[in-house]
Amino acid sequence: MKLFAYTLRPFDELPFLEEVCNELNIEFDWTSDAPTLDNADLAAGADALSIITNPMTSGLLDRYHELGIKAIGTRSIGYDHIDLAHAQKVGIRIAHAVYPPEGVANYTIMLMLMALRNMKLIMNHNEVQDFSLVGKLGRDISSCTVGVVGTGAIGSCVIRHLTGFGCRILAYDPFEREDIAQLATYVDLDTLLAESDVVTLHAPALPVNHHMIATPQFARMKQGAVLVNAARGSLVDTEALLDTLESGHLAGAALDTIENETNLYYLDKSREVLPNRDRAALMALPNVIVSPHMAFYTKEDVRDMVFSTTQALLAFCNEQDSPLEVR
């Protein structure tokens, strides 16, 4: 198999791609640029593509199909950036990545703790030598009820790790798990929102979940609650979130992902005016943390993202099945 990788980061992903390709006897080439119609010919002669969260439109898929690409693997768990229906139409198989849930789960808990302890305000004041205590009184997570929306691999890991803090844990998922029912109390979403001091989202970016937390849901949340989102930006209606924060109904939010973040992460935009007013508004609030979609970013997770997608692509090119195929 010959592989071409787009948007490959030389400082972390490249060594892992070299390792797995040497192990599996795969020929590969790469670029740090995102795939476009202008650079699609870079993949000429390849059997498969490795991408990350780059939009794969019908036009791009048609071009790669013309070039003989049989499969595309995205080095991410999410795959909503790929036109799956069109990929299936032209016969390109799609794979996504898997990696250990601990990285995102522990980052999520870090965000909870930072939000509950007002760390953004504390650190901002610390930088200007304001060491006062006014307005910085925090909450102990051990005294809180934490509601976990989505009990897949990452949500379940969050719940397992939260048990060490001694907090009350509620869970919501259309498909309840017996093992998690021993650690958390499954309730409907309205009950979870009404009773939780912290609500953390771990649902997939399916159409049915678009804006699953919007104005009606914010109204049901407890006064002074905190929202955490380290899953997908599309789960939260950003305009409704801003309205709720500005009203004082929520105590804060900690977000690793927001709407309309495509083409922002993971690039140096420090010299540019960003076309994302919602992000600017959120960043301006002293009780809102916005990190740049970094929850996955551990050595263990990056390695598994590269290895798992490459292995799936090799299986596809050998006309074999893979559990990572997206249909």
Q: Which of 75, 93, 293, 303 is catalytic?
A: 293
Do 58 and 178 lie in one domain? The reply is: no
Active site residue 261: yes
Q: What's the half-sphere exposure (Cβ side, CA atoms, 13 Å) at 115?
A: 31
Q: Which of 96, 261, 279, 303 is catalytic?
A: 261
Burial class from Cβ neighbours inside 10 Å (0-12, 13-18, 19+) for residue 207 reads exposed
Active site residue 63: no
Structure tokens at 208: 């049915």
| Structural domains in the chain (count) | 2
Do 117 and 207 lie in one domain? The reply is: yes
CATH of the domain at 15: 3.40.50.720
Burial class from Cβ neighbours inside 10 Å (0-12, 13-18, 19+) for residue 294 reads middle
Do 45 and 114 lie in one domain? The reply is: no
Do 90 and 230 lie in one domain? The reply is: no
Do 304 and 270 lie in one domain? The reply is: no
Do 22 and 139 lie in one domain? The reply is: no
Q: Which of 232, 259, 279, 303 is catalytic?
A: 232
User: Can you give the residue range of the structural domain that contains 242?
Assistant: 102-290
User: Which residue's entry shows tokens 């693997």?
Assistant: 73
pLDDT tens string, the chain, 327 residues long: the values are: 999 999 999 999 999 999 999 999 999 999 999 999 999 999 999 999 999 988 999 999 999 999 999 999 999 988 989 999 999 999 999 999 999 999 999 999 999 999 999 999 999 999 999 999 999 999 999 999 999 999 999 999 999 999 999 999 999 999 999 999 999 999 999 999 999 999 999 999 889 999 999 999 999 999 999 999 999 999 999 999 999 999 999 999 999 999 998 778 888 999 999 988 999 999 999 999 999 999 999 999 999 999 999 999 999 999 999 999 999
Do 139 and 213 lie in one domain? The reply is: yes
Structure tokens at 198: 């912290």
Backbone angles phi, psi at 59, to 5 degrees: -65, -40
Calpha distance 264→85 (Å, rounded): 26
Do 155 and 269 lie in one domain? The reply is: yes
- Long-range pairs, 91-94, Cβ under 8 A, ≥24: 91/65, 92/61, 92/64, 92/65, 93/316, 93/325, 94/325, 94/326
Do 72 and 202 lie in one domain? The reply is: no
Do 155 and 270 lie in one domain? The reply is: yes
Do 235 and 113 lie in one domain? The reply is: yes
